[in-house]
Structure 1
Amino acid sequence: MAPGFQRRGPMQPEAAEIFEAQRPRLLRLAYRMLGSNAEAEDMVQEAFLRWHGAEGIDNPAAWLTRTVSRLCLDQMKSARSRRETYPGTWLPEPLIEAEDDALRPDNLTLSLMMALERLSPLERAAFLLHDVFGQPLDEVAATIDRSPAATRQLASRARAHVQVDRPRYEIPRDAGAELARAFFEACKSGDASALGAMLAEGATLHSDGGGKVHAYPNVIRGADNLIRLLLGLQRKFGDQMRFLEATMIDGLPGFVSRLDGNLQTTAIEITDGRITALYVTRNPDKLSRVVPH
């Protein structure tokens, strides 16, 4: 139990209700900071234990946000060291969005999550808390233990990095599903002409197998290289390619499929109507929550 906290005794029903009302937002915040649903759940559970042991809290939402944010900052330090030795490309755990999730709580996409990875933990926390979750600057400063002026500078630097990577093209959900299926069919049939029409010249492919299943350790760059790679996969695994469903993956159109018997998700970033990046998650540890319908 953290120093200065006092034991409540058995948790009062109203205290549990307050926490449960905050849980979805806290999970979203922790996921955005860590890129892992499992780690996010651990941080929120730890915050719950601290909430159970604290009293005299005037603003539960602010207290819980601060507690989860500080827990995540500590976790991010160890996560960074782990990712330095991660086998191959690291991608955030795919966040599959429900059909009725028309109003997203934030405006981040998987590609922007990748941009956040290049920020320092403090820059990431300042940007998420202030720009994405709308916390006043003085509250953010107290959370990350920096002055308001330093916090403003951290958020400004982060904002500049993220704006560079912000997609300039949004696609309606139905159109995204059509494109996802068309892209899969072109891959399965080995239609080089169709692939060439869909891919931007500088398109990239990022694949995360976590050392558990086959994936490409380095980012594949350029439409020609991608087409050669995708046609090679078709020749080798064409009869084992299975389209399971089109979906939204962390704000990007995409699909769930099987290749060589392994489940995978593919998120598709689109700029000016053409595919600029593919994010393929194959690490089974990151797909435990993916349940195709």
Structure 2
Amino acid sequence: MADTAKPSLDALFMGHRSTLVRLLSRMVGSAATAEDLAHEAYLKVRAAERDRPVDHPLPFLFQTARNLAFDHLRRERRLAGVVVQDTTVEGVEEVAAPLPSPETQAGDRQRLARMNAALATLSERQRRILLLNRMEGLSHAEIAERLDVSVSTVQKDLKAALLACLEVFARLDREGLRVSAGPNVLQRDKP
């Protein structure tokens, strides 16, 4: 009798990770960014599996990764287009920053409090890895070297930290507190 058991997403990801990273690296031109995008694709597919069964997880993983790479490239292009010629520092300082409405401020404070609560559930090393990766833009290898741990440890801790944050976002979404699509703590705009 043939074994019809579907391999787990973890097994599929680990078995095809190097191929996925090579593909993404060719697309975005950076091995470190490719690693991050592959990991983010895995987390997105994992979150999607919670909502509904995924019949073909491997093609879904690769398509999700390609979409993330295209988003990354569009974001890079947009950031490169923001530079305006012949602008002085004084001219930039004179541009008024729009103030958010009181409702937006209250919602932001509530989201920040929930995110801080999620971060408080993480170990110190998981928090440091998340911040080094998402805020300082360090690759998995750079973080492993800085913290004197293995790259595998960095990947596992980053996965746990991101899953905790995704759970907070899912809870906020269910409660009607939408998380903006713009840059946030979990998105990194630079490679």
Structure 1 or 2: larger strand share? 1
TM-score tier, shorter chain, comes to 0.3 to 0.5
Q: TM-score, normalised by structure 1?
A: 0.23
Q: TM-score, normalised by structure 2?
A: 0.35
- Greater Rg over alpha carbons, structure: 1
Structure 1 or 2: larger helix share? 2
